[in-house]
Amino acid sequence: MESVCRREPVRRHVIIGARGLRGVCAGDGGMSVAGDSMCAMKPAVKAGLQPLWRDRDTLQIGVDPRRAIALTGLGKAAAVVSLLDGSRDAAEVVSTARAYGIPPDATNRVLGLLASAGVLNDFPAHLHRALPEYLRARLAPELACASLAYADGDGGARTIARRRAAFVRVHGAGRIGACVATFLAASGVARVSCADGGRTVPADLAPAGLTQADIGHAREAGVARAIRRIAPEVQTRDDGAQPDLAVLTGARDAELIAALMRDRVPHLAVKADEAIGIVGPLVEPGISACLRCVDMSKAERDDAWPLILAQVSTASPQACDTVLAAATAALASAQALAYIDGAGPRPVAANGTLELVLPEWQWRRRTWPPHPVCTCGAGTAAGTGTAAGTGSATSGGEAAAGGEPRARSA
């Protein structure tokens, strides 16, 4: 058997040639293939990756080239893949494969290639026991997605453990805040509370949030009910403890923001109005740009910005339709989870905002570095010398916001 595989190091996906894959993967975040580790593991092909035949001798695992790997020249050793369901340790896999007429060397070769390619999992037994069967079933998509996204070899166990230890407080229970709370709860965050003193009105209703039955009742109670519908195990009662992350979706509250900065609580700003959704900045006090940093940068581009900001109130109705609210809430939840998970690159909402302007429906990122004279200290920590480049856009976006509005003659 001459099964070989290679993962392209920059794009992190397999290059497939005329005869399959050439070369052997270097381990890049997948499971170790050292002898002791391999013997101790109960290998399983990562959930979500399907085994598919490219031809009689080449088995591809996964569909999209950015995730897939392929083994060529397998012959009878292809049966080894069917044994990788997490029910056997490596020695048992070898023994069972031998009963099918597959030599141990061939089985070990397949295991080594799959492990080095990062498509094998070894879900820790202790965490498996800690999750009730219902919760394991409900969080199966989260586990599978996290394992692939972060190239973990534990089946997403580390990610779910972090979420199960996290407490997120969502401020504001309107269309966006209610959706963020339910998204986070459904994603495995163990404690999600919502702070909002208002009552539900028809404009607050959204598919993933408040419902018709909540109209006239306290919004934060309605969000707690919505969470219980999808994730009854999640704790929604707020005991006043300091959260791991605060998500700000309501009207800007200067006292709240000051308290979060004083207590060094990370917080994510989210809003949608005027047919524009904005996620960010994600503020790590003293480390990344704060909301005041962004306002100071905008004021340098538009002298009237402080005066405009002082007059802002919540419009009624807000120009934020159902789909814009859901899209903004979904991306805000993704950034919150990226921060909680702590496994991938730094969340892109740090030192920036992600903005969706209708009717283009294309997310763009705008960069807002820490302002050098802001008292939050992030500018000093980052060594920011000037505010040059603030408000710059990436991903094809154009930095039109944050400066003076387009002038028109009367």
Question: What is the 8-class DSSP label of residue 62?
Answer: -
d(CA 4, CA 189): 40
In a domain, 410, yes or no: no
Q: Would the pLDDT of 316 be above 60?
A: yes
Rg, the chain, Cα only = 25
**φ/ψ (deg, to 5) at 203:** -70, -10
- Whether the CB-CB separation of 144 and 46 falls below 8 Å is answered with yes
- Number of structural domains in the chain: 3
Model pTM score: 0.85
174 and 278 co-located in one domain: yes
Query: What pLDDT is attached to residue 130?
Result: 79
170 and 89 co-located in one domain: no
d(CA 393, CA 58): 44
Q: Would the pLDDT of 344 be above 70?
A: yes
Among 92, 121, 150, the domain-final residue is 121
User: 129 pLDDT band (50/70/90 cuts)?
Assistant: confident
Tokens coding 1: 């058997």
103 and 151 co-located in one domain: no
Query: What pLDDT is attached to residue 172?
Result: 96
Amino acid at 108: N
196 and 277 co-located in one domain: yes
282 and 260 co-located in one domain: yes
Query: What pLDDT is attached to residue 402?
Result: 54
Percent of the chain with pLDDT over 70: 82
Burial of 307 (0-12, 13-18, 19+ CB in 10 A): exposed
User: 236 pLDDT band (50/70/90 cuts)?
Assistant: very high
129 and 184 co-located in one domain: no
d(CA 266, CA 340): 11
Tokens coding 191: 């404690």
Q: What is the four-CA torsion angle of 307, 310, 315, 319, rounded to 10 degrees? A: 60
Per the listing, tokens 């923001």 go with: 257
The pLDDT tens digits of the residues spanning 162-220 come to 999 999 999 999 999 999 999 999 999 999 999 999 999 999 999 999 999 999 999 99
In a domain, 93, yes or no: yes
193 and 170 co-located in one domain: yes
The pLDDT tens digits of the residues spanning 40-82 come to 678 999 999 999 999 888 899 999 999 999 988 888 889 999 9
**φ/ψ (deg, to 5) at 280:** 115, 170
Among 143, 161, 179, the domain-final residue is 161
150 and 211 co-located in one domain: no
d(CA 124, CA 275): 46
In a domain, 407, yes or no: no
Query: What pLDDT is attached to residue 159?
Result: 94
Q: Would the pLDDT of 242 be above 60?
A: yes
Of the candidates 18, 23, 19, which has an alpha carbon nearest to the alpha carbon of residue 5?
23
The pLDDT tens digits of the residues spanning 75-103 come to 888 999 999 988 888 999 999 999 999 99
Give the CATH number for residue 116.
3.90.930.60
**φ/ψ (deg, to 5) at 194:** -130, 130
Of the candidates 375, 372, 374, 331, which has an alpha carbon nearest to the alpha carbon of residue 353?
331
d(CA 296, CA 183): 32
Query: What pLDDT is attached to residue 313?
Result: 80
In a domain, 406, yes or no: no
Q: Would the pLDDT of 400 be above 50?
A: no
93 and 151 co-located in one domain: no
d(CA 160, CA 127): 9
d(CA 251, CA 329): 16
In a domain, 14, yes or no: yes
Q: Half-sphere exposure of residue 151, counting CA atoms within 13 Å on the CB side?
A: 18
332 and 271 co-located in one domain: yes
185 and 242 co-located in one domain: yes
- Cβ contacts of 311 within 8 Å, gap of 6 or more: none
Query: What pLDDT is attached to residue 329?
Result: 98
Query: What pLDDT is attached to residue 314?
Result: 75
Query: What pLDDT is attached to residue 250?
Result: 85
Name the average pLDDT for the chain: 85
Print the domain residue range for 133. Answer: 125-161
d(CA 119, CA 372): 45
In a domain, 408, yes or no: no
Query: What pLDDT is attached to residue 177?
Result: 97
Cis status of the peptide bond prior to 104, with omega within 30 of 0? no
Of the candidates 39, 23, 29, 168, which has an alpha carbon nearest to the alpha carbon of residue 104?
39
In a domain, 399, yes or no: no
Give the CATH number for residue 202.
3.40.50.720
In a domain, 289, yes or no: yes
Query: What pLDDT is attached to residue 12?
Result: 29
Percent of the chain with pLDDT over 90: 66
d(CA 118, CA 105): 20
342 and 282 co-located in one domain: yes
State CA 45 to chain mean position distance: 22
